């Protein structure tokens, strides 16, 4: 069973730039979620995708957007990067809607905005 | 406004003794609770969960207790082992139109001393 994989592991960007982070779901999982973890904080929900559609969003501005592909892999895009976007970005997958189930996380992408 | 609170940033325990990690929540709509463990440079790993219809769930050395009237849950680790040293996150889920949004606490760093 392949777990959740994320790429890249580290990234340094300049304020105002755009970034794309990638995630491959655990096999058999059709739901993917993205979380932002700032230093000293717990992960914060950005949004969730199910069957290629966004079906839940946290308190993040529209410059945070995402995609889910037919193979359930996913991208997180952030436009007009700000210094406060520096954080660990975590992707998580789960088996699907309707039944509460644990999220399985990847190791994250560490984004630094300078 | 923090809906999930872990008031102890850190906890130190001797090997073989019991570790008790606490978590409080404010949202009475939460119906599913989880504990995650996180090692440095890794994503959170699912540990144990409990539905709001139960008050206890056990898995090996790990037991989670839920007190709905007090809006409090706790994780007991018995016996504690040095490999349990990690940051532990409490998380809660609210039914939200099929979305599995998790709300996390800030975490408690557990150190188990040999």
Query: What string of DSSP letters covers A69-98?
Result: -TTS-EEEEE-S--GGG-EEEEEEEES-SS
A55 touching chain B per CB within 8 A: yes
Q: Could you report the per-residue pLDDT of B10-46, keeping only the tens digit for each?
A: 999 999 999 999 999 999 999 899 999 999 889 999 9
- The residue of B42, B51, B102, B108 whose CB has the most chain A CBs within 10 angstroms, and thus the best one to mutate to test that interface, is B102
Quick one: B46 exposed, middle or buried, by C-beta within 10 A (0-12, 13-18, 19+)? middle
Strand partners, B2: none
Which residue in A13, A4, A25, A2 sits closest to A77, CA to CA?
A13
CB atoms within 10 A of CB A86: 17
B53 touching chain A per CB within 8 A: no
- The predicted structure's pLDDT at residue A111: 98
**Residue numbers in A near B62 (CB within 8 A):** none
Q: Could you report the per-residue pLDDT of A38-88, keeping only the tens digit for each?
A: 999 999 999 999 889 998 899 999 999 999 999 889 999 999 999 999 999
Interchain contact, A33 vs B45, CB within 8 Å: no
B99 touching chain A per CB within 8 A: yes
| pLDDT, average across residues A84-113 | 89
Q: Which residue of A has its CA nearest to B105?
A: A42
């Amino acid at each position: 069973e392949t777990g959740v994989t994320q790429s890249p592991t580290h990234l340094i960007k300049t304020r105002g730039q755009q970034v794309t982070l990638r995630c491959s779901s655990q096999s058999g999982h059709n739901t993917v979620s993205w979380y932002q973890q700032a230093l000293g904080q717990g992960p914060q929900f950005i949004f969730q995708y199910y069957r290629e559609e966004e079906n839940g969003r946290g308190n993040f501005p529209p410059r945070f957007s995402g995609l889910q592909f037919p193979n359930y892999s996913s991208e997180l895009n952030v436009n007009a990067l700000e210094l406060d976007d520096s954080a660990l970005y975590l992707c998580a997958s789960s088996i699907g809607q309707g039944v509460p189930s644990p999220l399985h996380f990847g190791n994250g992408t560490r984004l630094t905005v300078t | 406004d923090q809906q999930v609170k872990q008031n102890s940033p850190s906890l130190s325990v001797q090997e073989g003794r019991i570790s008790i990690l606490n978590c409080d929540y404010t949202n009475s709509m939460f119906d599913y609770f989880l504990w995650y463990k996180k090692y440095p440079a890794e994503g959170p790993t699912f540990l144990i969960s409990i539905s709001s219809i139960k008050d206890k769930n056990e898995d090996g050395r790990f037991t989670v207790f839920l007190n709905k009237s007090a809006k409090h849950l706790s994780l007991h680790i018995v016996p504690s082992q040095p490999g349990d040293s990690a940051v532990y996150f409490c998380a809660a889920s609210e039914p939200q139109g099929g979305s599995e949004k998790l709300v996390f606490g800030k975490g408690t760093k557990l150190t188990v001393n040999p």
